[in-house]
Amino acid sequence: MNLDGKNIQPIDAAVSAKPTSIFHKKKKANSSSMQYFLLLLPPLLFFTVGMIIPLMMGIYNSFTDWDGISLEKHWIGLANYMEIFKDEMFINSFKFTGLFMIFNTLIQNVAAFVFAVFLDSSIRAKNFYRIIIFAPVLLSPILVGQIWTKMYGTILPSINDILGLSINFNLFSSPDTVLTGLVIANNWQWIGYWMLIYLAGLQAVPKDLYEACTVDGGNWWQKFLHITIPMLGPSITICTIGIATGSLKVYELIVASTGGGPGDSSKSTIMYIYDSAFMSQRSSYASAMSVVFLFVLLIFAFIQLKILRKREVEL
Amino acid sequence: MKKGLFKWLRLSLILSIIVSLLVACSSGSSGTAKDGKVTLKVLDWNGTNTKETEKLIKETVEKELPNINLEFEYINWDTDFSSVMQTRIAGNQLPDIIMIKGGDHPKYTEHLMDLSSEEFMNEFPADIRKALQIEGKDYAVPYTSNFQGVFYNKRIFTENHIEIPKTWDELMKVAETLKAKGITPFTNHFKDYQIGNNFNQFATLEVFSKYPTWGNDLQKGKVSFADSAEFKTVFEHFKDVSKYSNKDPFGLDFTGAAEMFAKEETAMWIIGTWSTAQVLKNNPNLEIGFFPTPATDANNTKIIMQPDHTFSGSAKTEHPKEVKQVLEIFATNKELAKNYIDLVQTESLIPDVVSDVKAPYVNDINHYKNIGALDANIGNVQIPWPYQEQSGSYIAEWLLGKKTLDKALKATDDYKSKVKFSTK
């Protein structure tokens, strides 16, 4: 390639040749940036006031002994952070939240994927099924909690009365079954949402890939394994991270259904943080737990993103 | 020219959006209107006949103080009061008048108006004032009290010739008799706050009546739950009650419990007077009786009374004069007090104000007042409500076989460091 400079104008020369035009361009660019900045100002302001400042205040409070009400607070260094890792209630709440997340991530991903594959096929009344499965997404988790409390407490046990059976339907009443009960309620609500993500992903898969596979003699399973799953890589990433982080932050569903009980058997980490801040009046300790939990969420999301993105590339 | 005009139009539009957003975010706090009328915000957690009580208070205040307008905000005491108060204090947005439950005041004294030198506080007998005072100062106008004990179905007791029990053992015999006749003795709603409430009732009777400074000694490390024979008894009472309980107590909440008791599916319910309105809503003809929760020793069997609704003023209100005028109405207007207790179905702390409610349980309460009353706040102040609730969780874990009794008692001791005690 000949780059002897024949057609390349030196930058200095270009600037000196048209100084007025550059000046106008710069002015226009500045004016345009100013407008963009002004447009960004309200959300930036809200983000700073609503997120950055409270986050900084929370981090500062985590190093104090503030109870959330008193006019005084004293610097206590890392004492709150040291206590967290010895706090059995925090560890138990974290275990419960972790299990809740693992079961939700597995079940919701698989169920949403399967529903999406079936409802992307040519089965009859698929729009009707899509609406039915998606409908619970529109409900508030508070309402879902109340619906399933009624379901386990009154509606399902009435089957026992009718059929003369003695099946234990009240999953919220025992520490051994409360996790199962909450996982069922949570999955019932959210499977439809993640199903839509998978459906959108499925509809974006080029049909000629399937045709090519058919020509090569591939069967249904081979198409599913070698085309559908790899092509849904980005959807799997979105769904896995979404379900996992959503499950880690569970609060409303538990408040409206079990209240963290029986005992403390269904107390999630967020719920324990809330109780520490507003019931036990240990605001600074709750702030320290929030900071730790924030780091856990960040690390978790980062690892998931790294692994899943790498998997996407491999696929 | 046209381009420049368009540019300025865009800029001014952006600025107007920013300004309007900021204006929208400014708080609409209480203040003085153009006509000189002062609006005072009232934080209220009363959950019984709220529309009627609000109308009653507003009309009374408007009649006596035409320049004052009251604006009510309702919250649930059990689930929201602490968090709402905390966030309002942090945001410097405490309402002008706050309804505080008796026993909750010590937490908020720094933010409440000192009413000690107000003339209207002399309306109350010394013992009532003392029950709510903190370090000898008044921070609230006492208004109503609730009573806690055993509510029972009079028809079931009469038909089965059951005598009112005076000791815990007698209560268990009554439960056994009822069970033998196919009647479920106790209504238990362990899904929500009942264990916490009963914890305080049993502890008041079995522990605090004998050792009034037990909670303070606990804070100082002089006593512990694990080493207290009396507290072991308190915990064991729950096991006893569970033996004679309705099915699935951990799946039942307060509303369900009130419905169950109203439908006469159970014979007794260990709770407080706040439950009667809900029960009678489900079955207005139910004859509800009342007897004090029996203690192990008959001498300690006393009716448990608790100052309930009280009114306080914010220390930072912009209208201290008007707030005090409204508080004075609460303290002195006996007609308002009487109508209020009739609506809320409770008892007044204002002298000579007696309820018109003619329910049998009211007669029973008046009868048992003669044997002596114990102030529930002896326990509430020393073992703060969050501590009682958490102890309830450990008791639940013990009842469900997830902890031994000793471990439940030890866990209750360990929780001491995780809660802020109300007393200064």
Question: What does DSSP say about strands B141-142 and B347-348: parallel, antiparallel, or unpaired?
Answer: unpaired
Chain B residues within 8 angstroms (CB to CB) of chain A: 7, 10-11, 14-15, 17-18, 21, 82-83, 85-86, 89-90, 107-108, 110-111, 190-192, 248, 250-252, 256, 386-387, 389-390, 393-394, 396-397, 400, 402-403, 418-420
Q: How many CA atoms lie within 13 A of A254 on its CB side?
A: 27
- Between CA B186 and CA B291 the distance in angstroms is 14
Q: With contacts defined as CB-CB under 8 Å, which chain B residues touch A172?
A: 191, 250-251
**8 Å CB contact of B83 and A278:** yes
- Between CA A253 and CA A256 the distance in angstroms is 5
Q: Return the pLDDT at B14.
A: 66
Question: What does DSSP say about strands B309-313 and B97-101: parallel, antiparallel, or unpaired?
Answer: antiparallel
**8 Å CB contact of B418 and A174:** no
**8 Å CB contact of B251 and A274:** no
Looking at residue B68, the DSSP 8-state letter turns out to be: E
**Global confidence as pTM:** 0.81
**A168 vs B: CB within 8 A:** no
Q: How many CB pairs under 8 A join A and B?
A: 103
> Do the Cβ atoms of B199 and B388 come closer than 8 Å?
yes
**The tokens 């004032």 sit on which residue?**
B129
B14 → closest Cβ in A38, A264, A285: A38
B400 → closest Cβ in A69, A262, A275: A262
**8 Å CB contact of B18 and A41:** yes
CA distances for A212 relative to A6, A218, A233, angstroms: 49, 9, 20
How close is the nearest chain A Cα to the Cα of B210, in Å?
27
A70 → closest Cβ in B110, B190, B394: B110
**What is the token pair recorded at B45?**
């957690």
How close is the nearest chain B Cα to the Cα of A278, in Å?
5
Q: Return the pLDDT at A4.
A: 44
Give the burial class of B93: count Cβ atoms within 10 A of its Cβ; 0-12 exposed, 13-18 middle, 19 or more buried.
middle
Does residue B291 come out as left (phi exceeding 0), alpha (psi in the -120 to 50 range) or beta?
beta
pLDDT tens for chain A, 315 residues: list them.
444 444 444 444 444 445 556 666 666 667 778 888 888 888 899 888 888 998 999 999 999 999 888 888 899 999 999 999 899 999 999 999 999 999 999 999 999 999 999 898 878 888 898 999 999 999 999 999 999 999 998 899 888 888 888 888 889 999 999 999 999 999 999 999 999 999 999 998 898 898 999 998 888 889 888 998 889 988 998 899 899 989 999 999 999 999 998 999 999 999 999 999 988 889 999 999 999 999 988 888 788 778 877 766 555
Three-class HEC string of B396-423: HHHHCCCCCHHHHHHHHHHHHHHCCCCC
Q: Return the pLDDT at B18.
A: 62
Phi/psi at A199 (nearest 5 deg)? -60, -45
- Between CA A65 and CA A75 the distance in angstroms is 7
Minimal-distance CA residue of chain B relative to A42: B18
Mean pLDDT of chain B: 88
CA distances for B31 relative to B27, B94, B229, angstroms: 11, 13, 56
Q: Return the pLDDT at B60.
A: 95
- Between CA B150 and CA B294 the distance in angstroms is 9
**8 Å CB contact of A262 and B14:** no
Segments of chain B with pLDDT less than 50: 27-28, 423-424
Q: Return the pLDDT at B57.
A: 96
| Helical (H) or strand (E) element with B51 | helix B50-64
For chain A, the helix, strand and coil percentages under 3-state DSSP, each to the nearest 5: 75, 0, 25
**8 Å CB contact of A263 and B11:** no
In B103-220, the DSSP E strands lie at: 141-142, 144-153, 184-186
Q: Is the dihedral of CA B222, B226, B227, B228 positive or negative?
A: positive
Window 53-82 of A: residues touching B by CB (8 A cutoff) are 67-71
Report the complex ipTM. Answer: 0.78
CA distances for B40 relative to A2, B46, B76, B91, B326, angstroms: 83, 18, 20, 18, 9
Alpha-carbon dihedral of residues B173, B174, B175, B180, nearest 10 degrees? Answer: 90
How close is the nearest chain B Cα to the Cα of A148, in Å?
12
DSSP per residue over A293-314, as a string?
HHHHHHHHHHHHHHHHHHHHHH
How close is the nearest chain B Cα to the Cα of A310, in Å?
43
- Between CA B109 and CA B113 the distance in angstroms is 8
